[in-house]
Structure 1
Amino acid sequence: MSVDPIHLSVTGAYDRWSRFYDTYDNPMVAAATRVVAQGLGGVQDASVFEFGCGTGRNLSAFLESGAARAAGCDLSAGMLQQARQRDARLELLQHDMAEPLPLDSGTFDLALFCLSLEHISALDAPLREARRLLRPGGRIAILEIHPFLSLSGVAAHFQDGEQEVHMPAYPHQFEAYLNACAGLGLQVISCREWRPCDFQPPLTGKSFKRGPLFPLLLELHFRA
Structure 2
Amino acid sequence: MPAEPIHLSVTDAYDRWSRFYDTYDNPMVAAATRIVAQGLGGVQGASVFEFGCGTGRNLSALLAMGAARVTGCDLSIGMLEQARQRDARFELMQHDMTQPLPLESQSFDLALFCLSLEHVGDLEPPLREAGRLLKPSGRIAILEIHPFLSLSGVAAHFQDGSEEIRMPAYPHQFAAYCNTCARLGLRIEFCREWRPCDFQPPLTDKSFKRGSQSPLLLELQLRS
TM band (smaller chain): over 0.9
| 2:30 match: secondary structure | helix
CA deviations on 1:43-98 (whole Å, 9 max, x unpaired) are 00000000000000001110010000000100000000000000110000000000
In structure 1, what is the equivalent of residue 92 of structure 2?
Answer: 92
In structure 2, what is the equivalent of residue 139 of structure 1?
Answer: 139
Q: Distance in 2 between matches of 1:95 and 1:215?
A: 31
Query: Identity rate of aligned residues, in percent?
Result: 79
Q: Distance in 2 between matches of 1:50 and 1:180?
A: 19
Q: Distance in 2 between matches of 1:202 and 1:90?
A: 30
Q: Distance in 2 between matches of 1:146 and 1:187?
A: 19
Which amino acid in 2 is paired with 1:78?
A: G
In structure 2, what is the equivalent of residue 161 of structure 1?
Answer: 161
Which amino acid in 2 is paired with 1:163?
A: E
- Is the CA contact 1:74–1:95 (under 8 Å) kept in the aligned structure 2? yes
Q: Distance in 1 between matches of 2:204 and 2:80?
A: 28
Q: Distance in 1 between matches of 2:13 and 2:119?
A: 12
- Is the CA contact 1:118–1:144 (under 8 Å) kept in the aligned structure 2? yes
Q: Distance in 1 between matches of 2:32 and 2:169?
A: 18
| Structure 2 counterparts to residues 183-202 of structure 1, below 5 A | 183-202=183-202
Q: CA deviation at 1:39?
A: 4.3
Q: Distance in 1 between matches of 2:195 and 2:13?
A: 27
In structure 2, what is the equivalent of residue 41 of structure 1?
Answer: 41
Q: Calculate the TM-score normalised by the size of structure 2.
A: 0.99
Q: Distance in 2 between matches of 1:182 and 1:136?
A: 18
* Number of residue-to-residue matches in the alignment: 224
Q: CA deviation at 1:206?
A: 1.1
Gap regions ≥5 residues in structure 2: none
- Is the CA contact 1:39–1:65 (under 8 Å) kept in the aligned structure 2? no
Q: Distance in 2 between matches of 1:204 and 1:13?
A: 24
Q: Distance in 1 between matches of 2:71 and 2:219?
A: 21
Q: CA deviation at 1:4?
A: 1.6
Which amino acid in 2 is paired with 1:126?
A: P
Q: Calculate the TM-score normalised by the size of structure 1.
A: 0.99
Runs of 4+ with deviation above 3 angstroms = none
| 2:25 match: secondary structure | coil
| Structure 2 counterparts to residues 1-224 of structure 1, below 5 A | 2-224=2-224
